[in-house]
């Protein structure tokens, strides 16, 4: 079972399991915890979902016309933004942050992104995260960032 953390009908974070959820809920207040299926979690993680939140319920569906990244330059810009967001976690890390379940995975993911050659991709792609899923690349979504 996975979780969506919401507030005022906005999606704040997603967690793959109870450990990740507990780590996020400790730092995100106020929030509402909503149980979601593993398949719904995967859709959100892949940036291939739309959702409607109504208080303590969420309806998730696969995008019928997913956005796409058209070329290497667009992917480069997107990955730069992802790296910068992850870098904020890393540079502001303290002992508590470094003990989070996904901290090391985010560090490893950022290191991977720094060496990824965007010219090796066949464009367009639905999303970077969907590309990773389809190609066996270990990835995280920024909604999982503690």
- Per the CB < 8 A criterion, the answer to whether 41 and 16 are in contact is yes
CA end-to-end distance (rounded Å), the chain: 19
3-state secondary structure of 41: helix
Structure tokens at 66: 């997913």
3-state secondary structure of 3: strand
Q: What is the mean pLDDT of residues 92-111?
A: 86
Domain ranges of the chain: 2-62, 72-144
Predicted structure pTM score: 0.89
Structure tokens at 124: 């367009």
Phi, psi (rounded to 5 degrees) for 52:
-130, 125
Task: Give residue 28's pLDDT.
Answer: 86
């Amino acid at each position: 079972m996975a979780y969506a953390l919401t507030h005022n009908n906005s999606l704040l974070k997603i967690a793959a399991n109870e450990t990740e959820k507990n780590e996020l809920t400790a730092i995100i207040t106020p929030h509402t915890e909503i149980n979601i299926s593993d398949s719904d979690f995967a859709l959100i993680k892949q940036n291939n979902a739309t959702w409607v939140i109504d208080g303590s319920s969420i309806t998730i569906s696969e995008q019928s016309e997913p956005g796409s990244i058209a070329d290497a330059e667009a992917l480069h810009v997107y990955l730069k933004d992802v790296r910068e967001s992850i870098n904020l976690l890393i540079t502001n890390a303290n002992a508590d942050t470094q003990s989070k379940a996904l901290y090391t995975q985010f560090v490893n993911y950022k290191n991977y992104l720094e060496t990824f050659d965007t010219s090796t991709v066949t464009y367009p792609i639905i999303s970077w995260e969907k590309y990773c899923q389809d190609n066996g690349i270990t990835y995280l979504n920024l909604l999982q960032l503690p």
